[in-house]
C-alpha cells in the first residue's frame, strides 16, 4: 500500500514490543524508526529490522519522515523534552506516560495545542481498559462527579494474595517480586504514587478541571496486616487500594489514593489480582464500571495502537484532528484538603486488659464528634484485647485528634491501624 503513515517508537520494552508486534498486522502504517536504550540487548521479536533501531531518541523525534511518535519509555525526562521536540517538529504523539501527564500535563497539552498537534494517552491510565476515549466522546454529555477505581495491579495482586492466603504484606511482596508482578524497588506501586499519577489525570478529564498532583492525598498499602484483612472480611468488606475522586456540593475536588474497606456489595470488592477497574458516577448515565487488564505487553499495546489508528484515520482529511480528544482545561479544580473531608473509619486497637478501656475509647470519640457504628472485642488473651471499631461518618481532623488521644495513653492501648471505609 502506498502512503503508509510513518510511525516512530521511543522504547522497545514490554509495551514497545507489544506495540511493534501489534502494528505489524496493519498495512496502512509502517514503523520506520525505533529508539532503544541499549542496541545490543537480545530481543525476542521476529523479523525486527536492526537497521531501524537507534540508541539516540532525538533521531526519532527529528526524523522528517515520521508523522506519529509513540513515547513508551516513561519518567519525566528525557520523555518530556522528546515529546516537545516531536510536537515542535510537526508530529502527533501517543504516550503511555502517566507520571509525565500528572506532573506536566498542563504544559504539555498547551504546547501541543499551540502547535495544533494531538497527544493521546489511553494507555497511561489502566493499561488496556478503554477510559479516556469513552469519557471524552460517548460520555461527553455527562456531569461526572465521582470516580472510585483500582488503578494499580501490583498492589491489587498483593492485597488479594494477603486476603486469600492470610499472609503478611512482606511475604506476599517477596513472592510477587519473584513472579515478576512487583518491581525490585516497589515504592512507586506500593506507596500509591502510580495510582496517584493515574487518578490525577483521570479526575482532570472527568471533571473538566485541572487537578494538581501536589493536592492529591496519598497513602500506600505497606501497613495493612492479615488481621485487618480478616476483620474486614468478617464485617462484610474487602481491603483495596482505592483511587478516588469526588466533587463535593460546592464543586470542590477531593482526590486521593489510600487503602479502603470496600463493602462486598460493591463491584470493586471483587476485582482481584492484577485486574484494574474504574467506577464512574455521572448524570445522566448513572454508575458505569469498566474493568480489565491494567498493564502488560498486549493490553497496553491495545490502547497505544488504538490511539495511533485514531490519529491515522484523520491524518490528511482535516486541519484540526480529533477535537473531542484534546485537553484544553482553562480552570484549575478547587481542591479539598483531606483534613476537611468526612469519612467512615475502621480502627484496630490493641488494649491492656484493664477496666474502662472501651469507655475511654467511647469518650475520646464522643469528645471529638465521632459516633461509633460498631465496637467489637471478642476475648481477652494474655492480658490484652483486640478491639475493632467502625465509626459513622465523621471529619478526618476529628478522627486524627481522637487517634492522638489513644496514642497518648500507650501504656493502655496501641492503635494498630486506621483505614477509611467506603460508604
Burial 390-407, CB ≥16 within 10 A → b, else e: bbeebbbebbeebbebbe
Peptide bond into 284 cis (omega under 30): yes
Exposure of 353 by Cβ count < 10 A (0-12 exposed, 13-18 middle, 19+ buried)? exposed
Exposure of 251 by Cβ count < 10 A (0-12 exposed, 13-18 middle, 19+ buried)? exposed
Of positions 294, 327, 390, 418, contacts ligand HSE by CB under 6 A: 294
* Nearest residue (CB) to ligand HSE, 292 versus 362: 292
At its nearest, how many Å lie between ligand HSE and the CB of residue 153? Answer: 3
What angle separates helix 153-165 from helix 169-178, to the nearest 10 degrees?
A: 120
Residue 307 binds ligand HSE, judged by CB under 6 A? no
At its nearest, how many Å lie between ligand HSE and the CB of residue 355? Answer: 48
At its nearest, how many Å lie between ligand HSE and the CB of residue 307? Answer: 16
CB-based contact 182:154 (threshold 8 Å): yes
* Nearest residue (CB) to ligand HSE, 11 versus 294: 294
CA distance 394 to 232: 19
* Nearest residue (CB) to ligand HSE, 189 versus 421: 189
Residue 312 binds ligand HSE, judged by CB under 6 A? no
| Alpha-helical regions (H) of 283-409 | 297-314, 357-367, 396-408
* Nearest residue (CB) to ligand HSE, 192 versus 306: 192
At its nearest, how many Å lie between ligand HSE and the CB of residue 295? Answer: 4
CB neighbour list of residue 55: distance below 8 Å, 6 or more residues apart: 35, 36, 37, 38, 39
At its nearest, how many Å lie between ligand HSE and the CB of residue 345? Answer: 27
Residue 122 binds ligand HSE, judged by CB under 6 A? no
Site string for ligand HSE, 168-207 (x = CB under 6 A): ---------------------x----x-------------
CA distance 32 to 5: 10
Exposure of 283 by Cβ count < 10 A (0-12 exposed, 13-18 middle, 19+ buried)? exposed
* Nearest residue (CB) to ligand HSE, 149 versus 322: 149
* Nearest residue (CB) to ligand HSE, 127 versus 282: 127
At its nearest, how many Å lie between ligand HSE and the CB of residue 194? Answer: 5
* Nearest residue (CB) to ligand HSE, 163 versus 189: 189
Binding residue count for ligand HSE, defined by CB under 6 A: 7
| Alpha-helical regions (H) of 235-316 | 297-314
CB-based contact 101:210 (threshold 8 Å): no
Residue 99 binds ligand HSE, judged by CB under 6 A? no
Site string for ligand HSE, 124-163 (x = CB under 6 A): ----------------------------xxx---------
At its nearest, how many Å lie between ligand HSE and the CB of residue 76? Answer: 15
Peptide bond into 78 cis (omega under 30): yes
CB-based contact 299:125 (threshold 8 Å): no
Q: Which residues are catalytic?
A: 198
CB atoms within 10 A of CB 293: 17
Residue 295 binds ligand HSE, judged by CB under 6 A? yes
Binding site for ligand HSE (CB under 6 A): 152-154, 189, 194, 294-295
Amino acid at each position: 500500500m502506498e502512503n503508509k503513515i510513518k510511525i516512530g517508537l521511543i522504547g522497545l520494552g514490554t509495551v514497545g514490543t507489544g506495540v511493534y508486534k501489534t502494528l505489524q498486522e496493519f498495512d496502512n502504517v509502517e514503523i520506520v524508526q525505533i529508539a532503544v536504550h541499549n542496541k545490543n540487548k537480545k530481543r525476542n521479536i521476529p523479523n525486527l529490522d536492526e537497521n531501524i533501531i537507534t540508541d539516540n531518541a532525538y533521531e526519532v523525534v527529528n526524523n522528517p519522515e515520521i508523522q506519529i511518535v509513540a513515547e513508551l519509555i516513561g519518567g519525566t525526562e528525557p520523555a518530556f523534552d522528546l515529546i516537545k521536540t516531536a510536537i515542535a517538529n510537526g508530529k502527533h504523539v501517543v504516550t503511555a506516560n502517566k507520571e509525565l501527564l500528572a506532573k506536566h500535563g498542563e504544559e504539555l497539552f498547551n504546547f501541543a495545542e499551540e502547535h495544533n498537534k494531538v497527544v493521546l494517552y489511553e494507555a497511561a491510565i489502566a493499561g488496556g481498559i478503554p477510559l479516556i476515549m469513552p469519557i471524552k466522546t460517548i460520555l461527553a454529555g455527562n456531569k461526572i462527579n465521582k470516580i472510585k477505581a483500582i488503578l494499580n495491579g501490583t498492589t491489587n495482586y498483593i492485597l488479594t494474595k494477603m486476603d486469600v492466603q492470610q499472609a503478611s504484606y512482606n511475604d506476599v511482596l517477596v513472592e510477587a517480586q519473584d513472579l515478576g508482578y512487583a518491581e525490585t524497588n516497589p515504592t512507586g506501586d506500593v506507596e500509591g504514587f502510580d495510582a496517584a499519577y493515574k487518578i490525577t489525570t483521570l479526575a482532570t478529564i472527568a471533571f473538566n478541571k485541572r487537578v494538581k498532583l501536589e493536592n492529591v492525598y496519598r497513602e500506600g498499602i505497606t501497613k495493612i496486616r492479615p488481621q485487618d484483612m480478616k476483620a474486614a472480611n468478617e464485617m462484610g468488606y474487602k481491603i483495596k487500594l482505592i483511587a478516588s475522586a469526588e466533587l463535593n456540593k460546592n464543586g470542590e475536588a477531593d482526590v486521593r489514593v489510600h487503602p479502603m474497606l470496600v463493602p462486598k456489595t460493591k463491584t470493586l470488592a471483587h476485582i482481584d489480582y492484577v485486574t484494574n477497574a474504574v467506577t464512574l458516577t455521572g448524570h445522566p448515565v448513572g454508575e458505569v464500571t469498566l474493568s480489565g487488564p491494567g498493564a502488560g505487553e498486549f493490553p497496553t499495546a491495545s490502547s497505544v495502537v488504538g490511539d495511533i489508528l485514531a490519529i491515522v484515520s484523520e491524518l490528511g482529511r482535516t486541519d484540526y484532528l480529533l477535537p473531542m480528544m484534546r485537553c484544553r482545561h482553562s480552570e484549575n479544580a478547587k481542591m479539598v484538603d483531606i483534613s476537611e473531608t468526612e469519612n467512615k473509619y475502621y480502627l484496630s486497637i490493641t488494649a491492656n486488659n484493664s477496666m474502662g478501656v472501651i469507655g475511654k475509647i467511647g469518650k475520646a470519640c464522643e469528645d471529638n464528634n465521632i459516633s461509633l457504628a460498631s465496637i467489637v472485642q471478642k476475648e481477652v488473651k494474655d492480658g490484652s484485647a483486640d478491639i475493632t471499631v467502625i465509626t459513622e461518618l465523621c471529619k478526618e481532623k476529628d478522627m486524627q485528634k481522637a487517634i492522638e488521644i489513644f496514642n497518648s495513653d500507650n501504656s493502655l492501648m496501641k492503635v494498630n491501624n486506621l483505614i477509611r471505609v467506603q460508604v
